[in-house]
Amino acid sequence: MRILLLDKNHPLITDQLLDKNFILEEDFTSSYDEVCAKIQNYDGVIIRSRIPLDKNFLEHGENLKFIARVGAGMENIDIPVAEKLGIQLINSPEGNRDSVAEHVIGMLLILMNRLFIASQEVKNGIWLREENRGDELLGKTVGLIGYGNMGKATAKRLSGFGCRVIFYDILPNLSDEFATQVSLEELKEKAEVLSLHIPLTEETHYLIDENFISEMKNDFYFVNTARGKNIETKYLVEALKSGKVKGACLDVLEYEKSSFENLDTSTSLSTRENEDLQYLLNSEKAIVTPHIAGWTHQSKEKLAQVIVDKIVAAFCYD
């Protein structure tokens, strides 16, 4: 099988697939149109997020048997078209679930205990204790939306902090020793921390909007390591200003490029969007990281290994 690698990943992908007699070609620079022009020559594609695999792309790939996404999210792929064309879709959420879960905990601890703020103050000769009094995770009810790989890994860690973890998921009967499944209405009633662990779909685009925030009974901390467009940023900013959202931990932003390589430039944002972005970047009530929750040295290797294992299991007939 001939496989086209469109993004740089851990070298074990190349090493192990070559050992299994797959034919590999790396192309990390060609444009979308250039890749479309040659994709019919390949049986498989391995990608992160560099270019969209839309209807046009997939129809050019008349010989494609699989697409392997090194990561969890599949929104850059036209899934209905791929399924109609019989292209197998592979991803690797198992590979970075632990990284994401630790990132969630880390951001919450930094935000709730004002660790970054206090550290910067001390480094600048400012010694404030009462002003930096923290808020404990112990005893809080944490509501997760989505209970797949990321949600479960996060719940496992939160349980060690003495939290009550509840979650909402569209699939039934997912409760385990770390978290209890509830209705969305019950989650809104009880959660004091809200964390998203969902893909970006038509149903989850702007899931967290003005109405959702207003329906939360408690003032709450908000965490998003999923996708920026799961929440409507202008309403998050309004809620931060009013105090309804006590603080926000954001590893993803609505204003990211589809490749996740950077933010869209301020010139492509409306005046309101730019003001909201600047508020998040400058507010002490928000922690913002550059879409790195799933990026550790360990997860880079694990993501690659999961992809290789799934490809070999499906297409290696030795």
Q: Could you list the active site residues?
A: 227, 256, 291
Does residue 74 contact residue 89 with C-beta atoms inside 8 Å?
A: yes
Q: Say how many residues make up the chain.
A: 318
Tokens 């204003």, located at residue: 255
Find, among 188, 226, 247, 189, the residue nearest to 74 by Cα.
226
From the CA atom positions of the chain, what is the Rg in Å?
21
Handedness of CA 167, 169, 172, 174 (dihedral sign): negative
β-pairing, 23-26 vs 193-196, is unpaired
- Quote the distance between the C-alpha of residue 236 and its chain's center: 18
Distance CA 299, CA 303 (A): 6
Total Cβ atoms within 10 A of residue 301: 15
